[in-house]
């Protein structure tokens, strides 16, 4: 059985802490952490062993956390203070992701679970990507070819929301919306749902404007390209419906009328899911050639190093990664 690969995220955030807590609860059995040994020890793991390859984890004694240190990691990360932006932590987080993807591409891992990184630390390190999704998309591409189209989905037991645009300012996100972007999102969401046992998911499309534009009174995007994209998806056999008023469509999905909701922008789609609680929410990147999940929260610099970090969302991300990687027909928010 190939191991799950878990990246430590930003060393100054709560990623290492929630990894250690998950390990203490037995949730990292069969997993390998990609990170810094001293950072994990600082987070509270006394029994931490450095390994050279994921397969080496099987030879460790029970109760020992396997940590694979990527080449090129910055030195002295454990001496940096928690809760502070530092370019070295950003560079280390990016290096862990790069190495994890290389291992997955070499067939050495079953799936990827990423602890939170800090976008300001990435930027300080000169990393060209604003977050995990964009970085993973670029790393997963074939050299010389366009990267695969990917989308972010946030899921819990009550809602699954797929986003057309993600880490863009609202002004740039509006410019990025188009017929092609909406239709591509519907195709990706439809294919992903089929992989976990919903071959014909009921997909609701949230409008962009108040009341989904009210027939053009409050904006024309619904008429110009959102509704035409829904119609094109339906013509291709996708059960897409809408666009619906965004202030009520999530409630309808939560009550069971739809299996997925496609939202146009980051906050439009994520606020309803996170309002239900971050404890069991999981971020899934759709469209990658491997499974990737993560907690649905950030680095929580304000509580890093205090011992107050809750591993619940990471536990949910680990469980979902195992289901998606190992069981055809698994619902990513079941259980």
Sheet holding 282-286, edge to edge: 48-51, 65-68, 31-34, 4-7, 111-114, 292-295, 282-286, 151-155, 160-163, 260-263, 203-206, 240-244
What's the rounded mean pLDDT across residues 50-66? 91
Is residue 334 scored above 60 in pLDDT?
no
First to last CA, the chain: 22
Higher pLDDT, 196 or 118: 118
Return the pLDDT at 126: 96
> Exposed, middle or buried, 191 (CB in 10 Å: 0-12/13-18/19+)?
middle
- Distance from C-alpha of 310 to C-alpha of 305, rounded to nearest angstrom: 12
pLDDT tens digits along 1-16: 799 999 999 999 999 9
Record the tokens describing residue 231, joined without a space.
Answer: 């119609």
77-91, 113-127, 193-207: least confidently modelled range: 193-207
Angle at Cα 288 formed by Cα 275 and Cα 332, nearest 5°?
45
Return the pLDDT at 78: 96
What's the rounded mean pLDDT across residues 189-217? 91
What is the CATH number that goes with domain 1-149+289-335? 3.40.718.10
Is residue 61 scored above 80 in pLDDT?
yes
Return the pLDDT at 31: 95
Nearest in space to 314 (alpha carbons), one of 10, 3, 21: 21
pLDDT tens digits along 303-317: 999 989 999 999 999
Instruction: Please give the mean pLDDT across all residues of the chain.
Output: 92
Is residue 328 scored above 50 in pLDDT?
no
What is the CATH number that goes with domain 159-275? 3.40.718.10
- Distance from C-alpha of 285 to C-alpha of 189, rounded to nearest angstrom: 10
Proportion of the chain above pLDDT 70, given as a percent: 96
| Model confidence band, residue 327 (pLDDT cutoffs 50, 70, 90) | very low
Alpha-helix runs per DSSP H in 159-238: 170-176, 179-195, 221, 227-235
Length of the chain: 335
Is residue 130 scored above 90 in pLDDT?
no
What global pTM score does this model have? 0.89
Nearest in space to 181 (alpha carbons), one of 141, 137, 216, 233: 233
> Exposed, middle or buried, 298 (CB in 10 Å: 0-12/13-18/19+)?
middle
What's the rounded mean pLDDT across residues 66-94? 96
Can 1-149+289-335 and 159-275 be said to share one CATH topology?
yes
Nearest in space to 112 (alpha carbons), one of 279, 332, 288, 333: 288
C-alpha to C-alpha distances, 29 to 111, 113, 115, 311, 319, nearest whole angstrom = 14, 13, 17, 15, 11
C-alpha to C-alpha distances, 272 to 78, 204, 254, 321, 335, nearest whole angstrom = 36, 14, 10, 23, 20
Q: In 3-state terms, what secondary structure has residue 173?
A: helix
Return the pLDDT at 46: 64
pLDDT tens digits along 205-221: 999 999 998 899 899 99
Respond yes or no on whether the N-terminal peptide bond of residue 243 is cis (omega within 30° of 0).
yes
What's the rounded mean pLDDT across residues 228-249? 97
Higher pLDDT, 335 or 177: 177
Residue identified by tokens 């519907």 is: 186
| Model confidence band, residue 325 (pLDDT cutoffs 50, 70, 90) | confident
| Model confidence band, residue 329 (pLDDT cutoffs 50, 70, 90) | very low
The full set of domain ranges for the chain reads 1-149+289-335, 159-275
What does DSSP say about strands 282-286 and 292-295: parallel, antiparallel, or unpaired? antiparallel
């Amino acid at each position: 059985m190939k191991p799950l690969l878990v990246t430590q995220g930003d060393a100054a955030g709560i990623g290492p802490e929630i990894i250690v807590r998950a390990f203490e609860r037995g949730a990292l059995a069969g997993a390998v952490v990609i990170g810094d040994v001293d950072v994990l020890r600082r987070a509270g793991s006394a029994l931490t062993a450095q390994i050279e390859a994921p397969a080496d984890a099987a030879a460790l004694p029970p109760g020992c956390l396997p940590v694979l240190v990527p080449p090129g990691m910055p030195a002295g990360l454990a001496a940096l203070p928690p809760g502070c932006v530092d370019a070295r932590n950003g560079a280390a987080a990016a290096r862990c992701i790069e190495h994890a993807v290389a291992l997955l591409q070499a067939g050495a891992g079953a799936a990827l679970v990423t602890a939170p990184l800090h976008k300001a630390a990435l930027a300080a390190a000169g990393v060209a990507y604003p977050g995990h999704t964009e970085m993973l998309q670029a790393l997963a591409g074939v050299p010389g070819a366009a990267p695969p189209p990917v989308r972010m989905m946030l899921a819990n037991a009550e809602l699954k929301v797929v986003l057309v645009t993600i880490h863009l300012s609202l002004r740039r996100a509006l410019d990025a919306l188009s017929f092609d972007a909406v239709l591509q999102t519907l195709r990706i969401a439809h294919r992903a749902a089929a992989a976990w046992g919903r071959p014909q998911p009921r997909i609701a499309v949230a409008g962009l404007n108040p009341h989904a534009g009210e027939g053009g009174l409050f904006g024309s995007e619904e008429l110009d390209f959102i509704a035409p994209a829904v119609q094109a998806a339906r013509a291709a056999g996708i059960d897409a419906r809408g666009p619906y008023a965004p202030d009520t469509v999530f409630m309808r999905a939560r009550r069971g009328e739809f299996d997925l909701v496609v939202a146009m922008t980051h906050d439009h789609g994520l606020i309803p899911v996170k309002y239900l609680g971050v404890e069991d929410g999981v971020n899934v990147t759709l469209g990658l050639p491997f499974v990737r999940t993560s907690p649905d929260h950030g680095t929580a610099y304000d509580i890093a190093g205090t011992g107050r970090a809750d591993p619940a969302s990471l536990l949910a991300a680990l469980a979902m990664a195992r289901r998606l990687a190992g069981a055809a027909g698994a619902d990513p928010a079941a259980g």
